[in-house]
Amino acid sequence: MKLSYYPGCTMKNHARNFEESTLFSLQELGVEVEELKRWNCCGTVYSLSADEVMHQVAPVRNMIRAKEAGADQLMTACSMCYNTLKRANARARANPEQLSRMNAFMYDEPIDYQGDVEVVHALEVVRDQIGFDAVKKKVVKPLKGLKVACYYGCLLVRPREIAFDDSENPTVLEKLVAVLGGTPVEFSHKMECCGAYQTVDKPEIVADKTYQILTAAREQGANIVAVSCPLCAFNLDHRQEVTLQIHPDLHTMPIVYFSQLMAIALGGDESVLRLDLHHTPPGPLLTESGLL
């Protein structure tokens, strides 16, 4: 299987751990991944205004790049990129008039976009195209000892019309963790927002959210949290520093991407885990569990 891949900006710097582990895992699972040439930033957030066509151009332009690569599917692993690309694509498809305005604006592109690219998330590829049974057969290091709180954040499964799992109680991450030999815990805060972009100018609010989310995870028996979004990862992991200043009774906890859990179970070494990019180090727990 060959897939066109859209990384997004953060995968290329702060979230190298996300990218390296995703690419390693997909390779182990027999998927050939080809990064789009000349991809551009999706804009990170979908424009919610009804009259806003201009901000849909950036995400939609990436669909043209996918067509140029001969692909009819475009895969991304970042929740925010996924949400923005998928929603802009859905809007372009549902509004031929808006799509023709976008195409007119992109007159210097060699082709018009016809609405014929499907945006898919890496988790969706693993679940629906590879299949959990096939993943299970490839596990060489079951995640024994990891009690995982699966944290979805907001943009992976909202709104309903672009979601590939239930919008209120998704379970795809728990199923993956179980297939990898880990123990998913029941987690009350799996859909509770981390504060998202408020982290830039209101980190104290994110600190409250991080405190609530990680305290719930710990009380419900988790020793690690799995995420699918680099912004969630930054808020839940790197913001533990300011969280500790405001809430000194916080029990710090390692935050990892679901792809890092896959990479560990599929036999990846530290070069694809990039644990140096974490704030609260996952190393001690992984070593204690015999996974490093």
Partner 1 sequence: MTAHITRHHLRTAFVTKVQRLAGQNLMACYQCGKCSAGCPMASYMDILPNQIIRLAQLGFEEELLNSKAIWMCASCLACNTRCPKGVRIAEVIEALRQIELRARHEHLKVEDIPPEVLSKIPPIALISSLRKFTS
Binding site for partner 1 (CB under 8 A): 8-10, 13-15, 41, 43-45, 47-51, 55, 78, 80, 154-155, 158-160, 167-168, 191-193, 195-201, 205, 209, 230-231, 234, 238
Give the residues across from 184 on adjacent strands: 148
Quote the tokens at residue 104: 């007119």
Nearer Cβ to partner 1, position 30 or 159? 159
Nearer Cβ to partner 1, position 141 or 158? 158
Nearer Cβ to partner 1, position 225 or 291? 225
Nearer Cβ to partner 1, position 130 or 242? 242
Rounded Cα–Cα distance for residues 35 and 76 (Å): 10
Give the chain's length. 292
Contact 122, 26 (CB under 8 A): yes
Contact 209, 177 (CB under 8 A): no
φ and ψ of 251, to 5 deg: -95, 110
Per DSSP (E only), the strands in 58-201 are: 73-76, 118-121, 147-150, 183-184
Rounded Cα–Cα distance for residues 19 and 48 (Å): 28
Nearer Cβ to partner 1, position 16 or 136? 16
Shortest separation between residue 205's beta carbon and partner 1, angstroms: 6
Shortest separation between residue 107's beta carbon and partner 1, angstroms: 25
Biggest alpha carbon–alpha carbon distance for the chain: 58
Shortest separation between residue 235's beta carbon and partner 1, angstroms: 8
> Which residues make Cβ contacts (< 8 Å) with residue 185, sequence separation at least 6?
147, 148, 149, 217, 220, 221, 222
Rounded Cα–Cα distance for residues 44 and 64 (Å): 18
Shortest separation between residue 13's beta carbon and partner 1, angstroms: 7
CA angle 202, 204, 206 (to 5 degrees): 80
Nearer Cβ to partner 1, position 93 or 158? 158
Nearer Cβ to partner 1, position 117 or 229? 229
Contact 53, 21 (CB under 8 A): no
